[in-house]
């Protein structure tokens, strides 16, 4: 039996810590002050370690390990500090599922997509690259929310979708009446998700074609869709069910003004990312 509306209203949702909220508020100001941001991060050990981990992630990897918050903030840049706050909140939220194969698959997929989408956006829409990276990082956050609230049901549903090569979103809709994408809209206020990220994540699976008008949300959608095409072409990721992906790859390439040489470079980057996050396939 699927959960009732009342159950959805009382779902356990990710929370941003008070220091995390301070950091997000500082980042929203017109000219964020790096020193105040660094201080706010210092007040929260979980946040400090998330920022350090993020600065040492494969996509930013330096020759020498980054060991202090001030240095991490300057390497990441303020926009990526926002990403680290989100990661810390989600990690904290899903902490009991650290060793769960589906949760791990969702994290690997989210990090790989975030970095790949950043690479695509750097080529196609550089002014939106940081926000688009955030969309990639959070696009499956709803799956973690479903997993932590309905562990048995959601694990079973995902395993069934995997075994039958069915779309995960279709199974979610049939069982919960909502997809993990739509669920993201319910946490919008808490995590201060920008409108373009929210719109792209919510609309993504059941859109046949991405509108290519160049609105901000359409750029997010086109990059999200192209990244998923590249990911699918490289082979299925273990434990990660199939997703609905709108559009044809060729149409998306054209919309983003990318050519075959760009595509080959992106495929290379994608391969390196999959290897570094242990995604396999
Ligand atoms: Fe995805």
- In sequence order, the 6+-apart residues with CB closer than 8 A to the CB of 147 are 94, 97, 100, 102, 103, 106, 154, 155
pLDDT at residue 259, rounded to an integer: 94
Among the listed residues 188, 274, 203, 207, the one whose alpha carbon sits nearest the alpha carbon of residue 234: 274
CATH code linked to domain 94-281: 1.10.3210.10
Residue range 35-59: mean pLDDT, rounded: 86
Distance (angstroms) between ligand 1 centre and the Cα of 139 equals 6
Q: Where in the chain is the domain with CATH 1.10.3210.10?
A: 94-281
- Contact assessment for residue 41 and residue 23, using Cβ atoms and an 8 Å cutoff: yes
Lowest mean pLDDT among 101-110, 142-151, 159-168, 179-188: 179-188
Distance 109 CA to ligand 1 centre (A): 7
Q: Which of 59, 48, 162 is nearest to 102 (CA)?
A: 162
CA of 24 to the centre of ligand 1 (A): 25
| Helix-helix angle 260-276:216-233, to 10 degrees | 70
What is the whole-number distance in angstroms between the Cα of residue 52 and the centre of ligand 1? 25
**246 and 226 Cβ atoms separated by less than 8 Å:** no
CA 85–ligand 1 middle distance (angstroms): 20
Ligand 1 centre and the CA of 209: distance in Å? 17
Q: How far is the CA of 45 from the centre of ligand 1 (A)?
A: 30
Q: Evaluate if residue 280 carries a pLDDT over 80.
A: no
| Percent of the chain at pLDDT exceeding 90 | 42
Task: Tell me which residue of 19, 25, 56, 67 sits closest to 41, measured CA to CA.
Answer: 19
Q: How far is the CA of 113 from the centre of ligand 1 (A)?
A: 7
Mean pLDDT score of the chain: 86
* 281 pLDDT higher than 50: no
Over range 168-183, report the average pLDDT: 93
Only one residue has tokens 């509108």, namely 211
Are 38 and 70 spatial neighbours (Cβ–Cβ below 8 Å)? yes
Give the pLDDT mean for 37-44: 91
What pLDDT, in 10s, does the model give residues 200-235?
998 888 888 888 877 899 999 999 999 999 998 888
Distance 79 CA to ligand 1 centre (A): 22
């Amino acid at each position: 039996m699927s959960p009732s509306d009342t159950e959805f209203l009382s779902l356990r949702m990710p929370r941003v810590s008070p220091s995390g909220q301070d950091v997000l508020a500082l980042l929203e100001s017109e000219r964020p002050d790096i020193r105040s941001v660094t201080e706010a991060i210092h007040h929260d050990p979980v946040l400090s370690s998330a920022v350090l981990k993020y600065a040492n992630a494969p996509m930013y990897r330096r020759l020498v390990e980054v060991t202090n918050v001030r240095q991490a903030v300057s390497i990441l840049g303020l926009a990526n500090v926002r990403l680290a706050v989100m990661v810390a909140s989600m990690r904290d939220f899903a902490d009991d599922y650290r060793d769960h194969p589906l949760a791990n698959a969702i994290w690997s997929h989210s990090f790989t997509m975030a970095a790949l989408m950043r690479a695509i956006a750097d080529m196609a829409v550089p002014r939106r690259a940081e926000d688009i990276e955030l969309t990639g990082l959070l696009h499956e956050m709803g799956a973690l929310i479903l997993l932590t609230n309905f562990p048995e049901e959601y694990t079973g549903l995902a395993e069934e979708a995997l075994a039958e090569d069915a779309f995960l979103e279709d199974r979610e809709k049939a069982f919960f009446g909502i997809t993990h994408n739509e669920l993201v809209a319910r946490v919008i206020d808490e995590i201060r998700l920008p409108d373009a990220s929210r719109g792209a994540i919510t609309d993504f699976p059941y859109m046949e074609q991405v509108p290519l008008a160049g609105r901000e949300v359409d750029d997010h959608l086109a990059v999200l869709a192209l990244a998923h095409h590249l990911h699918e072409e490289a082979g299925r990721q273990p434990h990660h069910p199939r997703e609905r992906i709108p559009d044809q790859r060729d149409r998306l390439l054209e919309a983003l003004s990318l050519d075959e040489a760009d595509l080959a470079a992106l495929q290379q980057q994608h391969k390196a990312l999959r290897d570094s996050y242990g995604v396999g396939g």
